[in-house]
Amino acid sequence: SVFLINIPVMIVLIALGPLVIPESKDPNPGRFDLTSSALSMLAIVPLVFAVKETAAHGFDVVYLLSAVVGVIAGFVFVRRQRTLAAPMIDLRLFANRAFSTGVATNFLSVFALAGVLFFGSQYLQLVLGNSPLEAGLLLLPGTAASIVTSLLVAVLVRYFSAGTVLGVAMFVAAAGAGILVGLATDSGPALFIAGFVLVGAGVGVALTLTSELVVSAVEPERAGAASAVSETAYELGIALGVAVLGTVVMAIFRRGIDVTQLPPELGAKAGETLGGADAVARELPDSVATVLLDSAHAAFVSGMHVAAVATAVVLAITAVFVLVNLRRRQDSSTTTE
């Protein structure tokens, strides 16, 4: 039911889109390649599985083989795209610096956002003790910041270059992730809200501006293909953000939680997730439950700190990448003129 809010928005878009959005399409789009679709899934799913399961259960040959299958499928997918007359993903698009920068920034910004939302929502509920509704309300300032900055982009690019706006936005998001390193088990929600507002503001700019960069970097008849690549990067960023950053948090959590006072079966359940630890604690005497929850909260927050640092570093590197690549594009355009 939480997704029902999308329905009225999409109804308006479907009704008004044909009236206000210029039409552009490839007159010869080619046939849909089912083999490429299967290869893309065969590349992504085993890799995500290998990352998550290795963190949860340690090294295993099965997980290694899963990763190998994913890498091989990815290699075959790329090779196939290079040989098809009508590829699912036209790799020649990546030769355009603005396009490749836009796609990479789109992927990395949503990668960071997904990771922050993954551990942030759990932190607000299971560490600070807020209800799901309260946690949702506490996330609204960050969401609002994302909406506002996405609307301000059109104004900002009138006065500053796209590279400058996008690079600064990534530095703002990196600063927000850095703030999250200061979170503690009893720090209250204010610090998280401040960090999430900055992350949301930066990512709001990125998701809007990268979409424009990606589509405007190609000819109108290839806009659909370019947009599809951007959307794929977005979805892949969400999946890997949760998988990678979530795995970092949970790996540290599982190593830090104290289950020595619990029977093996309860210890295993408590060590799976923070929610599992919370559920187990409700069945225990107060003294034992307190020890379990204190260690679980501390371990989870320690994992958040590592993930927040990793997120800040990724976003800062992305900012530099954007400033360098789009600056070169701007200098090249100026020289041509």
Collapsing DSSP states into helix, strand and coil, what is residue 336? Answer: helix
% of the chain beyond a pLDDT of 90: 46
Q: Which residue has the higher pLDDT, 128 or 93?
A: 128
Band (pLDDT 50/70/90 cuts) for residue 330 is low
Of the candidates 330, 334, 324, 333, which has an alpha carbon nearest to the alpha carbon of residue 105?
A: 324
Cα 5 to Cα 114: distance, rounded to the nearest angstrom: 20
- Res 86: pLDDT: 77
Torsion of CA 73, 74, 75, 81, to 10 degrees: 110
Cα–Cα distances (Å) from 247 to 28, 192, 298, 335, in that order, read 43, 20, 17, 46
Could you give the angle at the alpha carbon of 330 between the alpha carbons of 324 and 333, nearest 5°?
140
The model's confidence at residue 306, banded by pLDDT at 50, 70 and 90, is very high
Band (316; pLDDT cuts 50, 70, 90): very high
Residue range 33-51, pLDDT digits in tens:
889 889 999 998 998 888 8
Chain-wide mean pLDDT for the chain? 87
What does the pLDDT read at residue 335?
46
pLDDT above 90 for 171: yes
Mean pLDDT computed over 225-236 = 85
- Low-confidence winner among 69-73, 147-151, 250-254 (lowest mean pLDDT): 250-254
> Which residue has 């408590």 as its token pair?
270
Distance separating the N- and C-terminal Cα atoms of the chain:
53
Query: Following DSSP, what letter does each residue of 63-96 receive, concatenated?
Result: HHHHHHHHHHHHHHHHHHHHH-SS-SS-GGGGGS
- Determine the Cα–Cα distance for residues 323 and 275; give it in Å rounded to an integer: 41
- Which of 61, 23, 112, 97 lies closest to 309 in space, CA to CA? 112
| Overall average pLDDT of the 9-27 stretch | 85
pLDDT(218) > 90: no
The pTM score is 0.83
Q: Which residues of 132-162 are buried (b: 16+ CB within 10 A; e: fewer)?
A: eeebeebbeebeebbeebbeebeebbeeeeb
What pLDDT is recorded for position 166?
A: 93
Summarised one tens digit per residue, pLDDT across range 113-136 is 998 998 999 999 999 999 999 999
Cβ atoms within 10 Å of 240's Cβ, excluding its own: 22
Say if residue 334's pLDDT is above 50.
Answer: no
- Judged on CB neighbours under 10 Å (0-12, 13-18, 19+), 63 is buried
pLDDT at position 240: 86
- Dist CA 167 CA 45 (whole Å): 31
109 vs 199: CA distance, rounded Å: 9
Distance CA 331, CA 86 (A): 33
